[in-house]
Structure 1
Amino acid sequence: MSMRQHSFLDRLIGHADQVLRTLAPEAARAGRPSPAGARAEAGLNADERRQVAGFMRINHTGEVCAQALYHGQALTAKLPAVRTEMEQAAREEVDHLVWCEARLQELGARPSVLNPLFYAASFGVGALAGLAGDRWSLGFVAETEKQVVEHLQSHLSTLPLNDQRTRAVLDQMRIDEARHRDMAIAAGAAELPPPVQGAMQVVARVMTTTTYYV
């Protein structure tokens, strides 16, 4: 028996469920255990704990945005193969979302209250990118992941040296994001015009500046 083809309405309902799983606390489930594993908790002082919590709040919101971007693109992608790759990448990003949320809890901190706003904005960008065509949609993925890898590397370089739990999580996220970037490029991503890349960097700075605190 052939598998039933999902209609646009089916996918819309599925994405509504994904929205709730992304934004509701502890609703998402990771497919992989946290890279933090059994690493001992570092003896962070108050300032270090505040800094790491700010970093993880940024990264958690980044994963919320990644979920929204991939969901929006998958909803409007024209080629089934591209849609499948977007959905698979989104599933892998769920791991990052759960790992970041768990680390925030360990630090006694909470996710950003701005997550619903950033989700909505990122979903709209993803949907528009999908409508523009799969090459442009993949281009957004490639550029987004490129910037995320650079952003994660900057956090890794400034983390307290003894915080091995956070370092393990961010390092695995960096590896995964680089793979998603390479996947998009191999699938035929178009290079985005410099003004679009610059606009994405500005939006990223707004997100990181605000969610570090709230």
Structure 2
Amino acid sequence: MARQFTRADRLIGQFDAALRTLVPGVAQQIRLSPATADIQDEPLDDDERRRAEGLMRINHTGEVCAQALYQGQSLTAKLPEVREQMEEAAEEEIDHLAWCESRIKELDGHTSVLNPLYYAASFGIGALAGAVSDKVSLGFVAATEEQVGKHLEEHLHTLPTGDRRSRAVLEQMAIDEAQHAQQALEAGGARFPAPVKLGMTLMSKVMTKSVYRL
């Protein structure tokens, strides 16, 4: 018989997930990074390296936010199958977190010092969305993944041409995020109206501007 987890069990799990997300070097990938050994960068000058590092830091923080969003939603989701979907999506996103962190290290950079702040904010938003309804919660996932996809597309155009390893990571992330968005809609997620999506876009711009160098 499957164990029935209590709210206390789930809270302990959320705390563990937060530590695994925020403590550098803890996130463990399941899939190998797309930046395999046979993909080598062309020489990058200092400006190109700093630009690549900043972009990958943004993407890493985006994955921190995704983890927090999914964890918050799983805590308050009404239906067990929706809770399980959120938890599964969070596990898949761990790969992205580990890939981005690894690439930042390769670029001699650091993850954002603002990650705990954005984790807390995203967790709260996710928990609130889950408390409203599963339909809203799934819709928020779809809309968020759409925003992430736009960021990834923009970054693929602005990465230094010679940064092949970061490009490989972002290309696979874009495929995964599009799949997560589609799965959320197919599971019954609401399609958010344009004004809501505009607000989400403005909030994401605050994040990208603040973590590019921090």
TM-score bin, normalised by smaller chain = over 0.9
How far did 1:93 drift? Answer: 0.6
Which residue of structure 2 lines up, in the alignment, with residue 79 of structure 1?
A: 79
Query: CA shift at 1:162, angstroms?
Result: 2.1
**Aligned residue number for residue 90 of structure 2:** 90
Aligned partner letter, 1:119: Y
Counting matched residue pairs gives 213
Letter in 1 for 2:93: E
Give CA deviations for 1:135-176 in whole Å, capped at 9, x if unaligned: 000010000001111110111112122211001000000000
Paired position in structure 2 for 1:165: 165
- Aligned runs of 1:1-214 on 2, under 5 Å? 2-38=1-37, 39-214=39-214
Amino acid paired to 2:10: R
- Deviation at residue 4 of structure 1 after TM alignment: 0.8
CA distance in 1, matches of 2:27, 2:202: 29
Distance 1:9 1:45 in 2: 51
Structure 2 Cα separation of the partners of residues 121 and 35 of structure 1 = 30
Counterpart CA distance in 1 for 2:168 and 2:195 is 34
Query: 1:148, 1:61 → 2: CA distance?
Result: 11
Q: String of CA shifts for 1:4-35, please: whole Å, max 9, x gaps.
A: 11111111100100000100010110111110
SS of the residue 1:109 aligns to: coil
Task: Quote the RMSD (CA, aligned, Å).
Answer: 0.8
Q: Where do 5+ consecutive residues of structure 1 fail to align?
A: none
Any idea what the Cα deviations from partners look like across 1:35-73, whole Å, max 9, x if unmatched? 001111331001100100000000000000000000000
Aligned to 1:32, the other structure's residue is in SS state: coil
Q: For residue 144 of structure 2, what is the amino acid of its counterpart?
A: T
Which deviates more, 176-185 or 151-160? 151-160
| Higher mean C-alpha deviation, range 55-64 or range 193-202 | 193-202
Residues of 2 paired with 1:68 and 1:114: CA distance? Answer: 14
CA distance in 2: counterparts of 1:121 and 1:194, whole angstroms: 22
Matched residues, percent identical?
A: 59
TM-score (norm 2): 0.98
Q: Is the 8 A contact 2:29 2:95 kept in 1?
A: yes
Moved over 3 A (4+): none
Unaligned runs of 5+ in 2: none
